[in-house]
Structures are given as C-alpha cells and as structure tokens.
Amino acid sequence: MVANMNTIEIEQYVDRLFKANRKKSYVADIPIVGGHYVPREDNVRPLKKKARAALAAREWFYENGPADLQPLPLSYNEREDLKHGGVPHILAWFARSLEALDYNYLEHPPFCDYACGVMASEHAPDFIKKEHLLKRFPPRPLDGLGPGLYWERPEEHARTMAAYRRSEARAASYRASRDDPSKPVTRSQ
C-alpha cells in the first residue's frame, strides 16, 4: 500500500506502473484497480485516470475513514476478499459504490453514512444486519442508495428505481401467471 501521497506523487507512481507494462505485447493487469488491458493497443489515458482517482480516494479514506477498516480496497479481488460478512463486507460494498461513481469521494457519502444507509435498506441481506453492526451503524435511510447498494446521484437514482420497479412488476406478473395457468403471460416493453 502506498500511503500519504500527494497528487503529483500519485500521478508519478501511476505513470511508473503503466510504463513498466509498456513493453508487454500481451494482456497486462491494470495497475491499482485490476482488470486487464493490452499495453500497446489500448488507450491507457482513461485507465491511468481511474487508477489515479482510486489512489486519491484511498488517501482520502485513510484520513477520513474508520481506522479499523484501512486500506480502502480498490480492485475487484481486494473487495471480494472482504466479503465474509460483518463490517469488512460493508466496506467492500462501499468501495464498489465509490468505484461506480468514478471514485468521486467528495460527492459520495462518507463510509459511516453509507453503512447506516445499508443497515436501513430493504435491499441489504439479512446476514449483514447483525446486532453488533446495528449498534455501530444505527439504521438511517440514505437517499440515493439503491437495490444493488450502490449510491447514485438523485437523477440517476430516480432512473434506477423506475427500472427496478418495472422489473419487480414484470417478475410479479410472471409469478402470478405461473401460479395461475389460466392467466396469459404478458410481456411489457
């Protein structure tokens, strides 16, 4: 882990990591955030931008996140390694939600607000709503927290929830028609 880096140091560090892959003519791992790319063929600018943003978010989380939950996981594998229940599981969801917002930690709710929102969410699985977690993160609804436990800006959240409600209605219609063979299955478009 690289800690206490400023913006220039983050940029230089990311550049060095990508430069080390430049001579490869085959698929390479995307530094910091994971995934794959072909160094001589793929445009690395957006990949570098994402890696820099991720490291900046990790720095922000180091200063502003819970001390017992460091560091902020940045890659899919780092997040998946935390998914065994409890607070680390919530941290993995938080990191995924932050990634979906391009690591915009100034716009995304802070971890504690997010965790309280997860505890209040009807979409959170029961295994996460344990008594000790409810004490640490008292349930408090978080506007913008959707069915996938991603936080979204208001306009995006409205679209997501409208699509979710349509999907739920189609599923309910399908279940009802399956349970009553005399009802035709209708498909909405």
Residues 25 and 109 grouped into a single domain: yes
Residues 26 and 105 grouped into a single domain: yes
With respect to residue 51, please indicate whether it lies within any of the assigned structural domains: yes
This prediction has a pTM of 0.85
With respect to residue 45, please indicate whether it lies within any of the assigned structural domains: yes
Residues 118 and 85 grouped into a single domain: yes
Residues present in the chain in total: 189
Residues 124 and 43 grouped into a single domain: yes
Residues 105 and 183 grouped into a single domain: no
With respect to residue 116, please indicate whether it lies within any of the assigned structural domains: yes
Residues 46 and 137 grouped into a single domain: yes
With respect to residue 2, please indicate whether it lies within any of the assigned structural domains: no
Residues 114 and 70 grouped into a single domain: yes
* pLDDT at residue 151, rounded to an integer: 97
Residues 126 and 72 grouped into a single domain: yes
With respect to residue 1, please indicate whether it lies within any of the assigned structural domains: no
Residues 131 and 167 grouped into a single domain: no
Spatial distance between the Cα atoms of 167 and 173, rounded to a whole number of angstroms:
10
Q: Which residues are CB-neighbours of 148 under 8 A, at least 6 positions away?
A: 123
With respect to residue 62, please indicate whether it lies within any of the assigned structural domains: yes
Residue 167 has pLDDT above 70, yes or no: yes
Three-state SS across 2-30?
A: CCCCCHHHHHHHHHHHHHHHCCCCCCEEC
Residue 24 has pLDDT above 90, yes or no: no
Question: How many domains does the chain fold into?
Answer: 2
Lowest mean pLDDT: which of 38-42, 98-102, 134-138?
Answer: 38-42
pLDDT digits (tens, 9 = 90+) for 102-148: 999 999 999 999 999 999 999 999 999 999 999 999 999 999 999 99
Mean pLDDT of the chain: 91
Residues 129 and 188 grouped into a single domain: no
* pLDDT at residue 185, rounded to an integer: 58
Residue 37 has pLDDT above 90, yes or no: yes
Residues 35 and 109 grouped into a single domain: yes
- The boundaries of the domain holding residue 161 are 157-189
Residues 134 and 178 grouped into a single domain: no
Contact predicate 137/124, CB 8 Å: no
